[in-house]
Chain A
Amino acid sequence: MTGQLIELVDLTKKYKSFTAVDHINLTVRKGEIFGLLGPNGAGKSTTILMMLGLTEPTGGSAKVCGIDPTRHPISVKEKVGYLPEDVGFYDDRDGLGNLIYTGMLNRMTETDARAKALDLLKRVGLDEEAWTKKTGKYSKGMRQRLGLADVLIKSPELIILDEPTSGIDPQGVRAFLDLIVELRDEQGLTVLFSSHNLHQVQQVCDRVGIFREGKLLAQGDIASLSEQTYGGREHRLEDVYNHYFEGGGQHETK
């Protein structure tokens, strides 16, 4: 794991008097799975939108894959795959058709997009019946798998998953998380995993950043966070998280 794929320095987003993201400093190394952990409204999604150039920061700077997303959003989006929470597809098209469309938006020929889409559909575990099924008839779990294939079609260096497991049954979650780890191990992908589910983050993430009210309270691997919080005694991520959310709001990291 060498080099930094994401580097946020004092990144800030304000909406009039409300500060959604407050001077965040964060680095994500190449090849790691980094978890953004925090409750709804903590600023995780806004941070992701700024990393993709979909919204402009009001302060600070961001570098994703070495590129400033505010100035060069297209270059960033060529290298980054993004799976939004509750991903949407064109319901009157089948899974394969949706993937081919995304492939062609990434400047692939229709033939190449089709070949790659078929590969990916197999890779994410969608069977042949699903390929030609209208996505309107997909289950939530199938949609998330298709979403993952959709993210991978551009062969990204980094994938950003925003609450990817919300609404999926436990078995589906397990399979989805295993798939993410497999992809990282096989392809050396870097993954930014945003969630408010502590258990899932602990399961797959190498390092985590804890968000609260737009601030990044702490970041590091679970062991080091536990050490920072409890002075060397081993604790679960849940304990660390609870520590920061039970009056520990002053532990903002730089």
Chain B
Amino acid sequence: MKQNEKHVKHPFWVMVTKEVSDHVSSWRFIILIAIIALTCLGSMYASLAQFTKATKGADAEGAFFFLRLFTLSDGTLPSFTVFVSFLGPLLGISLGFDAINSEQNRGTLSRILSQPIYRDYIVNAKLVASLIVVSSLFLVLCLMVIGSGLIAIGIPPTPDELMRIIFFMLVGIVYVAFWLNLSIFFSVKFRQAATSALAGIAIWLFFSIFYNMIVELLAKGMAPKGMLSENQVVMYQNFILNLMRFNPAHLFSEATTTLLMPSVRSLGALTMEQMQGAIPTPLPLGQSLLMVWPQVTGLAAGSILLFAIGYYSFMRREIRSR
């Protein structure tokens, strides 16, 4: 009897396993993986082609060769991080846009909820399964970059570089989780999967293209006239920067740039006095992490908030057969 109990999987993990298997066997996922893998391979090829030029004259100790694989670009293709920033939301949206409404439309929601499970297992299992898939994908992509880097340059990554890559991966997962939670929320809100997907893509496009334009227009309109003191200029710059930080892609970009480019010492506007006497050495990992802490917590908070709204909407909803 006890041995039998050992093999009984908790219903929540039964659901997670099923969701993961559904994701990885779906055509949607295979197509998306192919796009992401191809673009990342392309950007890796471009960065490797540019590598010799970019690292000429740099000493092996302080040059962070491995990290450059993630950030270098030859101008024809964006860097690996830019691709992740652009395609990450698409991955999140595609994994979540039909999470709940497809269950409702198929008529499986009421059937599953009549089993002895808690209602929130459904939405939680969908999230956990998608996060497992995203994390595996990020791990594979990062290992691919590291592997090809090892082959190309023949120097293993330093522990500091490895840690920075791991943190980059975690920030990437949080960033995709933001879009995933947004699309899960839409899948609760909209009955039609197409509407839910469109809503997600609309927000993604808004932040990718239009938000920056709007902030630029605002910046032009609000630009102070006449002679300004140094403090006023810094305040104005910080205000614009803070507006930009409402964009999750901007937060992700700031966090990854700081983590993968240890030479970045500040993310805000600096006065000449602050720059004076500063030694241009790379920041230690701890300091880089401290610098990106607000960006990462901002992304995590947004992600949790979206999940909470989706969760609440789902829990309040009445379950009918179709």
- Contact residues of A with B, CB < 8 Å? 45, 49, 52, 54-55, 74-75, 77-78, 80-82, 84-92, 101-102, 104-112, 147, 150, 154, 162
Contacts and interface: CB of A to CB of B under 8 A. Distances in A.
Contacts of B319: 49, 54-55
B7 A109 contact: yes
Given A102-B111, A105-B117, 9 more contacts: A49-B318, A77-B114, A78-B116, A88-B321, A102-B115, A105-B11, A105-B115, A106-B115, A147-B111
Question: Which 6 interchain pairs have the tightest Cβ spacing?
Answer: A88-B107, A82-B114, A84-B321, A88-B106, A105-B115, A88-B108
Nearest to B322: A86
Interface of B: 4, 7-9, 11, 14-15, 18, 22, 25, 106-118, 318-322
A154 B115 contact: yes
A86 B11 contact: no
A173 B237 CA distance: 73
B111 A150 contact: yes
Contact of B107 (A82, A86, A92, A154): A86
A104 B116 contact: no
Contacts of A91: 106
B320 to A, nearest CB: 7
B103 to A, nearest CB: 8
A74 B111 contact: no
A104 B9 contact: yes
Contacts of B322: 85-86, 88
Contacts of B114: 52, 54, 77, 80-82, 84
B248 to A, nearest CB: 32
A129 to B, nearest CB: 23
Contacts of B115: 77, 102, 105-106, 154
Contacts of A90: 22, 106, 108
Nearest to A109: B7
Contact of B116 (A106, A109, A111): A106
Contacts of A110: 7, 9
Nearest to B6: A109
Contacts of B106: 88-91
Contacts of A147: 111
A150 B118 CA distance: 19
A94 to B, nearest CB: 14
Contacts of B107: 84, 86-89
A239 B166 CA distance: 75
B242 to A, nearest CB: 42
21 contacts: A45-B320, A54-B319, A75-B116, A81-B114, A82-B111, A84-B321, A85-B322, A86-B107, A88-B107, A88-B110, A88-B321, A89-B111, A92-B22, A92-B25, A102-B111, A104-B11, A104-B14, A105-B14, A105-B115, A107-B8, A109-B9
